[in-house]
Amino acid sequence: YQRRVHGDPTKDVLVKFYAPWCGHCKAMAPVYEELAESLSSRKDVVIARVDATKSKSLGARYEVRGYPTLKLFRRDDKSGGLTYSGARTKEALLAYLDLDDEDEDGVGTDDVVRDEL
């Protein structure tokens, strides 16, 4: 986790903290997978997930209070992650990542890595 999220200053990392038994997490799984697939040609975005029931210390560290919780760790500030609270659709997540405007906030370069952290 540390290496993948905090170790590379060239990548933005979107992390889904989930619980395997969570109905909302199960419902969101295909959307999150579709998001990762749609970004598969990009290089500097990592789409990852953490089973917060197995990694309780990470959930506590990032104040995960419900599932799923999405946190965006920007390449220029990976301290606490930005909590996403918008719609759980591929389109809304793409808009949140602001991948069409590379110059404004540094997101939107070239690759997505799907990863279980």
User: Cα dihedral angle (89, 91, 95, 97), rounded to 10 degrees?
Assistant: 70
22 as an active site residue: the answer is yes
d(CA 8, CA 20): 28
106 as an active site residue: the answer is no
6 as an active site residue: the answer is no
End-to-end CA distance of the chain: 5
Q: Which of 6, 24, 66, 86 is catalytic?
A: 24
The residues annotated as belonging to the active site are 22-25
